[in-house]
Amino acid sequence: MDAIEKAKNHFEEIIKEQLERIERMKTDYKWIDYNKLKPIIIGVAGGDGIGPYISREAERVMKFLLKEEIEEGKIEIREINGLTIENRVKEGKAVPDAVLKEIKKCHVLLKGPTTTPKRGDKWPNIESANVALRRELDLFANIRPVKVPEKGIDWTIFRENTEGAYILGNRGINVTDELAIDFKVITNPGAERIIRLAFEYAKKNNLDRVTVVTKANVIKATDGKFLEIAKKIAEDYPDIEWDDWFIDIMSAKLLDPARRRNFKVIVLPNLYGDILSDEAAQIQGGVGTAGSANVGKHYAMFEAIHGSATRMVEEGRAEYADPTSLIRAVAMMLNHIGYVEKAKKLDMAIDACQYERKCIITGRSDGATTSQMGDYIIKKLENI
């Protein structure tokens, strides 16, 4: 078969899959109700690189806060093994089938960062476990809060998590040795569900602005659709102002003190959300300070916003990694499964620790260790 024919067949397959996905999304409207579950099963997967180090602390904090519920059988914590790069490579899969099966038996997952190989790495170029899990569990909303009270910053980023330039990242084609093509997808139900969730969040929290970010002036079909759908959904929320920005100037404006305090809820397609959330986290004190909720109607996964930082491990600095990101994710998880007061308490403890700065993580031996930070946050919790 010639190269063009092969590429056309591949493209046809992708189109069919996406059309089927659209139909599935249209009939999938019911959210899981955590109030009805006993026990709520929380899976914990440590991940790669610094993952096991920061997960250990996050799990410790979580068990501290849920001690009674675990004893009373309201919560079950379950270790999920095998989501390591070694095992994924051995099985030749982003998420080995047996591991995915175990994850699906849990209601929510606390996940340490996993290594994502790229072309030329020592690992085979398998798909990102994050991206695969987000797709397999249909975790369409990646919610990433960033707060810097003294600068008037309080942003909640709603990153679309199952479409965009990302989700087919492993399905691009090398048509010939000289031509590579990737695919970017935006669908109506996919854009609608994330944009609506962002507006609902704004409404529920009395926030009067939602900012939509695209590059619709250039990427006309997909980003154009995202923006058009935002415009339509905004009509249902007359009390909420909305504005639209292009991703390039938005990245600049996050650094503009006069402008950035106006942003509150930010909703955007996958890759833009990936990049903008790292920038936002850096403004807050580094990616090691930011947590992330991956939410779908049936499952949810909570993680740090950063990767596995294998460089830190290679340089012998893993025990100086900041666990705050994943501990923040625990707070988001508690909130999501209905333990709102405990979530608030943990958020307060983390905020207080960040404010006091008695335990400072630098990522190096001149700073605090991962477990010292865990101790510090638990001590704070004991005193709140």
Residue 131 binds: one of Mg ion, ligand IPM, none (C-beta under 5 to 8 A by kind): ligand IPM
> Given the rule CB under 5 A, which residues bind Mg ion?
274
**Residue 266 CB, nearest approach to Mg ion (Å):** 15
**DSSP class of 164:** B
**DSSP class of 287:** G
Report residue 106 CA to chain centroid gap.
18
Among 60, 65, 95, 130, binds ligand IPM (CB under 6 A): 130
Q: Which residues of 352-370 are buried (b: 16+ CB within 10 A; e: fewer)?
A: bbbeeeebebebeeeebbb
Q: Which stretch binds ligand IPM (CB under 6 A): 11-19, 23-31, 127-135, 353-361?
A: 127-135
Given 3-state DSSP classes, what are the helix, strand and coil percentages for the chain, each rounded to the nearest 5?
50, 15, 35
Which is closer to ligand IPM, CB of 48 or CB of 57? 48
185: contact with ligand IPM by CB under 6 A: no
**Residue 129 CB, nearest approach to ligand IPM (Å):** 8
Report residue 154 CA to chain centroid gap.
18
Which is closer to Mg ion, CB of 138 or CB of 274? 274
Cβ partners under 8 Å of residue 140, min gap 6: 134, 160, 161, 162, 190, 193, 194, 295, 296
Which region holds residue 152: left if phi is over 0, alpha if psi is between -120 and 50, else beta?
left
Residue 128 binds: one of Mg ion, ligand IPM, none (C-beta under 5 to 8 A by kind): ligand IPM
**Residue 275 CB, nearest approach to ligand IPM (Å):** 9
Binding mask of the shown chain, residues 271 to 310, with x at each position contacting ligand IPM by CB under 6 A: ---x------------------------------x-x---
Q: Which stretch binds ligand IPM (CB under 6 A): 101-109, 123-131, 212-220, 236-244?
A: 123-131
β 209-214/173-176 pair status: unpaired
Binding positions for ligand IPM, rule: CB under 6 A: 116, 128, 130-131, 274, 305, 307
